């Protein structure tokens, strides 16, 4: 039979228990320390997009590689603003991560814009060699230093075509005086000015209404963007100009990245690279699928164009843009890659 303790022993035991309870009650940091670190990543395109799928893949892998210590929350479909606003928020540190592209990064590092020059690449393998090699790494480091945007992967947004309300495009001259919606990026504006069009930068969420109301005659973008933004509802023609092979990437605020442990930085970079590898592998299958849906589910008239004529018309822009951006060395290196 156990003997009860003395009154003083019992009193001391109760005080120890009460003290422990008070310590736990007064230390909410204990519970917080066990909660995952939240990383928000924003993009401007739809839930159907491959960019959204890549963000979800990144989140799943990051949770796996950090054993639940980090959790990704995706903010899709311009919830955090248009693409330019998203990138600015990541640069300022008010948003952890976002989806961007070279045309927007050129607002911070003018040299960056040259990697999306029209008709620059021989094929997709050429593009991969550029972004995955020292050219891509050098531009990424310049961007980090200038803006606090750290690129953690390279994806492809694919070839871009032209959607029009009133006529098809078959040769460069057909763009004369066409009011065309473009991303808010200098390279796109210069490209279509060279074709004689009237560039009109408009944020992605406003593309549909701008075409519907006649503010613009046309827009350009990938088949996926054309379908997921329902551009086929407010245009009649899809001309396969394939004028730019555009990159895409996830960026993280550099100060945030530096504040993380080495283990967590490595996990972010690994998860981002692997998400990009999956996205690239599936991209052209998805492009073919969107084109098939256009043919079956829309009234768009789809036509090919004289690609050589367009390339001949726009090749002089390479030197002009490269000189203005002080990036003739980058363009030369890309062409030699």
Specify the pLDDT at position 186.
Answer: 81
Cα–Cα distance measured from residue 288 to residue 181, given in angstroms and rounded to the nearest whole number? 24
Q: What is the pLDDT of residue 103?
A: 87
Q: What pLDDT shows up at residue 26?
A: 47
Task: Give 133-192 pLDDT, tens digit per residue.
Answer: 999 999 999 999 999 999 999 999 999 999 999 999 999 999 999 999 998 778 889 999
Q: pTM for the whole thing?
A: 0.84
Q: Which residue in 105, 76, 92 sits closest to 248, CA to CA? A: 105
pLDDT at position 33 is: 53
Q: Which residues pair with 180 in a beta bridge?
A: 199, 218
**pLDDT attached to residue 184:** 76
pLDDT confidence band for 12 (50 / 70 / 90): low
Q: State pLDDT tens for residues 220-269.
A: 999 999 998 999 999 999 999 999 999 999 999 999 999 999 999 999 99
The top-level CATH class assigned to 32-336 is alpha beta
Domain boundaries defined on the chain: 32-336
pLDDT of 286: 93
d(CA 274, CA 57): 9
Percent of the chain at pLDDT > 70 equals: 90
81 versus 2: the higher-pLDDT residue is 81
Answer whether residue 17 shows pLDDT above 60.
Answer: no
pLDDT in tens, 44-86: 998 989 999 999 999 999 999 999 999 999 999 999 998 999 9
| Averaged pLDDT of the chain | 91
């Amino acid at each position: 039979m156990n003997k009860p303790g003395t009154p003083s022993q019992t009193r001391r035991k109760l005080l120890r228990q009460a003290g422990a309870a008070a310590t736990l009650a007064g230390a909410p940091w204990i519970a917080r320390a066990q909660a995952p670190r939240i990383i928000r990543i924003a993009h401007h395109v739809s839930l159907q997009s491959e960019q959204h799928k890549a963000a979800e893949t990144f989140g799943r892998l990051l949770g796996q590689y950090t054993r639940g210590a980090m959790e990704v929350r995706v903010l899709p479909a311009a919830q955090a603003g248009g693409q330019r606003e998203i990138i600015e928020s990541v640069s300022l540190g008010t948003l952890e991560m976002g989806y961007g592209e070279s045309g927007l990064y050129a607002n911070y590092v003018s040299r960056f814009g040259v990697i999306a020059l029209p008709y620059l690449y021989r094929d997709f393998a050429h593009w991969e060699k550029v972004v995955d090699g020292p050219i891509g790494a050098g531009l990424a480091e310049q961007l980090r230093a200038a803006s606090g945007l750290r690129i953690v992967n390279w994806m492809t947004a694919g070839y871009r075509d032209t959607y029009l309300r009133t006529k098809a495009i078959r040769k460069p001259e057909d763009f004369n005086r066409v009011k065309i919606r473009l991303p808010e990026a200098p390279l796109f504006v210069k490209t279509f000015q060279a074709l004689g069009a009237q560039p009109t930068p408009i944020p992605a969420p406003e593309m549909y209404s701008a075409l519907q109301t006649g503010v613009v005659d046309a827009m350009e973008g990938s088949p996926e963007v054309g379908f997921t933004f329902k551009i086929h509802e407010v245009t009649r023609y899809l001309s396969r100009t394939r004028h730019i092979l555009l990159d895409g990437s996830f960026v993280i605020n550099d100060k945030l990245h530096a504040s993380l442990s080495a283990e967590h930085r490595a996990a972010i970079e690994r998860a981002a690279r692997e998400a990009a590898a999956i996205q690239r592998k599936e991209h052209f299958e998805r492009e073919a699928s969107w084109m098939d849906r256009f043919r079956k589910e829309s009234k768009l008239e789809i036509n090919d164009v004289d690609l050589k004529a367009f390339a001949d018309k726009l090749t002089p822009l390479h030197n002009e843009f490269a000189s203005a951006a002080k990036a003739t060395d980058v363009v030369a290196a890309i062409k030699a890659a």
